[in-house]
Amino acid sequence: MSMELGGKGVKSDINVTPLVDVVLVLLIIFMVITPLLQRGKPVELPRARHVSALEGGGDPILLSVTKDGRIWIDKKEVARQALAEGLAAELAAAPGAPVVLQADRDLDYRTIRAVILEVAKTRVPGLSLAAAQLPERP
């Protein structure tokens, strides 16, 4: 007593429409979420041929210095005089996190040096400088 529906048996083709729907939804989600994942203020980094990878555990604490000389800890703006206290609070919340300074490439060295001297007041074990890597020469 078998019963055939439609007279042709079981259809074994893959229905691609739901797959395409899911992929498009995931694409839209990633397009919306990706800009939100970037930390710190966007700056145009200096370029270098040899850039080493960041060593150390955990998420780094990002110090950003924009073209106009404003200083940011992640996405929070701080005055230069309050940088040491703000960085000390961040280090207390995330002990052992590496500190990365990303400064705009158009800044003069005097501004960057002043920021580095303020960071030195917190006695961080090290400060990494961020740079964009140039493509290798053929």
Return the pLDDT at 135. 80
The count of domains in the chain is: 1
45 in the Ramachandran plot: left (φ > 0), alpha (ψ -120 to 50) or beta?
beta
> Residue 36 domain-assigned?
no
Domain-embedded: residue 65: yes
Dist. CA 71–CA 68, nearest whole Å: 9
CB atoms within 10 A of CB 60: 19
- Residue 14 within any structural domain of the chain: no
| 110 falls within a domain | yes
Q: Let me know if residue 23 belongs to a domain.
A: no
What single string gives the DSSP state of each residue in the chain? ----STTT--------HHHHHHHHHHHHHHHHHHHHH--S----PPEES--PPP-SSSPPEEEEE-TTS-EEETTEEE-GGGHHHHHHHHHHHSTT--EEEEE-TTS-HHHHHHHHHHHHTTT-S-EEEP-EEPPPP-
Identify the pLDDT of residue 93. Answer: 86
Instruction: Name the residue range of residue 106's domain.
Output: 47-133
Task: Give the amino acid at 66.
Answer: T
Residue 85 falls inside a structural domain: yes
CATH number where 72 lies: 3.30.420.270
Spell out the per-residue pLDDT of the chain, length 138, in tens: 455 555 567 777 788 888 899 999 999 998 888 776 667 777 777 788 777 777 766 688 889 898 888 898 888 889 888 888 988 888 888 887 888 889 888 888 898 899 999 888 888 888 888 888 888 776
pLDDT of residue 124: 83
6 vs 21: CA distance, rounded Å:
28
Position 8 scores a pLDDT of 67
User: Does any domain span residue 26?
Assistant: no
Q: On the CB side of 29, how many CA atoms lie within 13 Å of its CA?
A: 6
**What pLDDT does 61 receive?**
85
pTM of the shown model: 0.66
